[in-house]
């Protein structure tokens, strides 16, 4: 065994993990939780506070996050910390499959997993989708390695990961069935499973199932998460989505241009030469892509399972272009630099169309320059192939594209994970964005401090606003939710939809706040081009009103309500 090489390899895995962890923790709590995130976070908060009702299908997330809330604080950061840590661990999973993918491809896959925008997005969202992907992959990988006890433990954990688990298992099951009908029956990680002693599997499976599912017997109702996750997934088949299927495919083009290019090349090459590895991965990828396509309630994050074979294919192809020799470095760097410069020029020229009116001579000139830049690149590479060597042209082109598209992918990941300083609309978002959440929280806290001396003691009444994100913002206050207002009451603080002053027993002062912000994705070419370049898209907004009883203010002449 080559121990120095193995040591370097493990060092690179550690680097990939460090980069993944950095990207997932950076500005993790900077933006408020969406409704979908807040719903699970509130359930975790109830568990941390000793209330064991309403755990819901996201059991793994709720139980783990409740520990963070109990030990630290109930903040946006700790609401998203468990998925971020789990998503970082996913980067290490290729180590378990290096005998299937080959060491170099497995290492490249680890970096792909670290930077992929889709996986980065769901790793920074409060929910269990990333738990399902990670736990299933580790259970599978340990099974492959013959570490059956560890496989049993992770298999038990996977059962608590909610609705996201079942499309993954369904996709793997369908892939296995399809491959059974093909002529390739030997040596597949999907078909030829090992035959270990199952007596090693069940003890850790049962122990983890009971201990984790009940949070060490503190939350017995957690065991029901196995069935509630399956029930939620089945119910989603009856609820149509408002996301067109085309948007799923467009997300791959916008967020994974580098992986898309090399995965397609790998599929064509693999099927042409009859590669069993590529055949099986491509079948799995196709099944995992078609499942959300035909799922009536599909969301963009349903593509998470498809990203695993998709990125593995791209890693396999890219690994074929890393055999650089010492004597060809100068030519290689020259072709790579030329490719990068021309592609950057073409991109900047395309970006300038945002400020150029369409159907004008100037826009036509921009399009001609873009096509001319691509033509110039093709001619230059052809001359390099003829004048130097086809190998130099190939390697320079591949790495020029890798650097350029890799930067685009990193930028897309920064947006999808909301690492940037400003919030941008992304296809991988987990719901609408509560724009003024922090402002609402600050206003309520200040009113409470003026009246009671504490920033959290003043009660708040919410009437007619169905928003878990709002309840999360107010979770440190006593909150009462009502469907209709009683005219004989006068709560200190009242939050309602946009409407006239409530007719209650005391006068109020109101302030409107922009709440749900939702992008209008049904735009034309210019809107989509602007979103691709600047992540800007026309928005629609919902507004809420915060009413404060008049006697809470210093300049009020209204008698204080007891």
Q: Other C-beta atoms within 10 Å of 543: how many? A: 13
Give the 3-state secondary structure of residue 389: coil
Give the HSE-up count for residue 289: Cα atoms under 13 Å, Cβ half-sphere: 17
State residue 229's pLDDT score.
86
The values of phi and psi at residue 275, to 5°, are -75, 120
Contacts of 161 (CB under 8 A, 6+ apart): 58, 59, 60, 61, 128, 129, 131, 132, 135, 229
| CA–CA gap between residue 186 and residue 188 (Å, rounded) | 6
503 conformational bin, left if phi > 0, alpha if psi -120 to 50, beta if neither: beta
Is the pTM above the cut of 0.85?
yes
Nearby residues of 488 by Cβ (< 8 Å), 6 or more positions away = 505
pLDDT digits (tens, 9 = 90+) for 334-345: 899 999 999 999
- As a whole number of angstroms, the distance between CA 235 and CA 224 comes to 16
Sign of the dihedral through C-alpha 149, 151, 155, 157: positive
Structure tokens at 211: 């201990």
Nearest-10 Cα torsion for 19, 22, 23, 26: -170
Biggest alpha carbon distance in the chain?
91
Separation of CA 33 from chain center: 14
Distance of CA 350 to the CA centre of its chain: 28
CA angle 155, 43, 301 (to 5 degrees): 60
Residue among 205, 327, 300, 355 at smallest CA distance from 521: 300
Give the number of other CB atoms < 10 A from CB of residue 201.
Answer: 20
Q: 299-357, pLDDT tens digit by residue?
A: 899 999 999 999 999 999 999 988 777 667 788 888 999 999 999 998 888 888 777 77
Q: Dump the DSSP string for 232-270.
A: HHHHHTTS--SS-HHHHHHHHHHH-HHHHHHHHHHHHHH
In contact, 153 and 204? CB cutoff 8 Å: yes
Q: Which two tokens stand for residue 517?
A: 């912000």
Residues of the chain under the 70 pLDDT cut: 1-5, 52-54, 183-196, 326-327, 358, 556-562
CB 65 within 8 A of CB 79: yes
* CA separation for the pair 246, 253 (Å, rounded): 11
C-alpha distances in angstroms, 138 versus 58, 95, 148, 316, 363? 19, 10, 11, 20, 51
> What's the token pair of residue 202?
């069940």
The helix-helix angle for 76-89 and 3-25 (nearest 10°) equals 160
């Amino acid at each position: 065994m080559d121990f120095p090489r193995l040591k370097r390899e493990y060092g690179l895995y550690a680097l990939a993990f460090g980069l993944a962890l950095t990207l997932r923790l950076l500005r993790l709590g900077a933006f408020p939780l969406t409704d979908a995130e807040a719903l699970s976070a509130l359930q975790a908060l109830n568990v941390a506070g000793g209330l064991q009702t309403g755990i819901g299908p996201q059991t793994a997330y709720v139980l783990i996050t409740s520990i963070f809330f109990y030990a630290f604080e109930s903040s946006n950061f700790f609401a998203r910390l468990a998925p971020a840590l789990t998503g970082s661990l996913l980067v290490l999973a290729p180590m378990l499959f290096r005998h299937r993918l080959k060491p170099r491809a497995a290492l490249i896959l680890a970096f792909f997993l670290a930077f992929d925008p889709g996986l980065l997005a769901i790793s920074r969202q409060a929910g269990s989708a990333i738990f399902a992907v990670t736990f299933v992959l580790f259970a599978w990988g340990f099974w492959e390695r013959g570490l059956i006890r560890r496989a049993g433990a992770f298999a038990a954990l996977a059962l608590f990961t909610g609705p996201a688990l079942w499309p993954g298992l369904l996709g793997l099951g369908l892939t296995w069935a399809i491959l059974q009908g093909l002529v390739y029956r030997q040596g597949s990680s999907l078909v030829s499973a090992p035959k270990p002693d199952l007596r090693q599997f069940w003890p850790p499976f049962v122990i983890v199932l009971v201990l984790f599912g009940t949070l060490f017997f503190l939350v017995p109702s957690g065991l029901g998460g196995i069935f509630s996750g399956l029930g939620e997934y089945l119910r989603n088949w009856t609820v149509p989505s408002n996301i067109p299927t085309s948007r799923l495919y467009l997300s791959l083009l916008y967020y994974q241009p580098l992986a898309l290019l090399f995965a397609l090349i790998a599929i064509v090459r693999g099927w042409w030469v009859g590669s069993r590895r590529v055949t099986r991965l491509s079948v799995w990828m196709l099944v995992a892509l078609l499942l959300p396509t035909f799922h009536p309630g599909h969301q963009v994050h349903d593509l998470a399972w498809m990203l695993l074979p998709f990125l593995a294919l791209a890693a396999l192809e890219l690994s074929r272009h890393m055999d650089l020799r010492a004597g060809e470095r100068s030519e290689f760097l020259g072709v790579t630099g030329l490719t990068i410069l021309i592609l950057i020029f073409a991109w900047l020229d395309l970006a300038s169309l945002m400020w150029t009116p369409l159907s004008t001579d100037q826009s036509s000139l921009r399009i001609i320059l873009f096509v001319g830049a691509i033509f110039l690149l093709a001619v230059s590479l052809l001359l390099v192939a003829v004048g130097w060597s086809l190998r130099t042209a190939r390697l320079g082109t591949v790495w020029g594209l890798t650097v350029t598209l890799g930067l685009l992918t990193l930028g897309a990941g920064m947006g999808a994970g909301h690492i940037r300083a400003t919030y941008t609309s992304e296809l991988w978002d987990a719901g609408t964005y509560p724009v003024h959440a922090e402002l609402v929280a600050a206003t309520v806290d200040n009113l409470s401090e003026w009246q009671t001396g504490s920033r959290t003691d003043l009660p708040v009444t919410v009437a007619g606003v169905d928003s878990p994100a709002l309840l999360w913002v107010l979770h440190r206050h006593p909150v009462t939710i009502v469907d209709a207002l009683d005219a004989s009451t006068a709560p200190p603080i009242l939050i309602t939809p946009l409407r006239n002053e409530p007719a209650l027993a005391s006068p109020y002062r109101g302030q409107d706040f922009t709440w749900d912000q939702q992008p209008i994705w049904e735009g034309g070419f210019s809107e989509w081009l602007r979103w691709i370049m600047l992540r800007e898209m026309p928005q629609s907004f919902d507004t809420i009103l915060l009413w404060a009883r008049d006697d809470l203010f210093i300049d009020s002449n209204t008698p204080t309500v007891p």
